[in-house]
Amino acid sequence: MGNLFSDIGYLLGKYDVVGAFWVNVQLTLWAGVLSFLFGLILVSMRVSPVPSLSRGAATYINIVRNIPLTVIILACSLGLWGQLGIELAAKDSPDFLAQNGFRLAVLGLTAYTACFMAESLRAGFNTVPVGQAEAARAIGLTFGQTMRLVILPQAIRGSIVPLGNTLIALAKNTTVVQAAGVVQAASFMITGIDQNGNMIFAVFTIVAIGWVIIVLPIGLISTFLSKRLGVAR
């Protein structure tokens, strides 16, 4: 046990472990917010009375969520940037590669996670009685007004737990951006094992503890919010 603690101390001193996990946290925050907003758009299209919008959203969700996330991340990195030359950072920036890679990773994570955000929100839609939408239309509200004022507030409250689970999955999925060269926790694990083969257990311990610190609060907060804000049925 003493050797384990000394190995952990050595690794923490040699590598910027906190900085690596901080990249995962930033990816989770940015992609979480953007995928939630995109998910709102998708689920609004999915339940829209306009057939083309509904079919378009359903097609996007069913296709993208069945593509491996690694493929999507590589498509953003090698496809959008490598082949099409799309850059999301200033070319003259001293850390252009890091910024551009990070933003392309956020784009890929957002495109993928929005599908699951939309499905989580659609589960919340099912908790809203149909009569409320009919009553809203009866008093002259448009589809957009009904969604914004009546349906969405209740649907979001009814889907807090599924959204929290999706956010947890997103946090863990941020390790996939290693495929695009974004340095984060998975990079530390690979480098730590490669350069310190006799400290593999210490590396795994640090990574495991780091992810517990990141993921556990998300679960606790979503549980608290669901109890505090959830719609009673």
For residue 18, the tally of other CB atoms under 10 A from its CB is 9
Residue 143 and residue 48 in contact, taking contact as beta carbons nearer than 8 Å:
yes
Percentage of the chain lying above the pLDDT 70 cut:
97
Residue boundaries of the structural domains of the chain:
2-229
Q: What is the CA radius of gyration of the chain?
A: 21
The CATH number of 2-229 is which of 1.10.10.10, 1.10.3720.10, 3.40.190.10, 3.90.870.30?
A: 1.10.3720.10
Residue 109 and residue 31 in contact, taking contact as beta carbons nearer than 8 Å:
yes
208-230 burial code (b ≥16 CB/10 A, e <16): eebbeebbeebeeebeeebeeee
Q: State how far the Cα of 49 lies from the Cα of 52, in Å rounded to an integer.
A: 9
Percentage of the chain lying above the pLDDT 90 cut:
42
For residue 178, the tally of other CB atoms under 10 A from its CB is 18
Cα separations (Å) of 87 from 9, 82, 184, 225? Answer: 39, 9, 21, 38
Residue 2 has pLDDT above 70, yes or no: no
Residue 122 has pLDDT above 70, yes or no: yes
Q: What is the pLDDT of residues 135-194, one digit of tens each?
A: 877 887 777 777 777 778 888 888 888 899 999 999 999 999 988 878 888 888 988 888
pLDDT averaged over the chain? Answer: 87
Residue 117 and residue 164 in contact, taking contact as beta carbons nearer than 8 Å:
no
Cα separations (Å) of 88 from 36, 79, 101? Answer: 21, 13, 8
Confidence of residue 58 (pLDDT cuts 50, 70, 90): very high
Residue 122 and residue 43 in contact, taking contact as beta carbons nearer than 8 Å:
yes
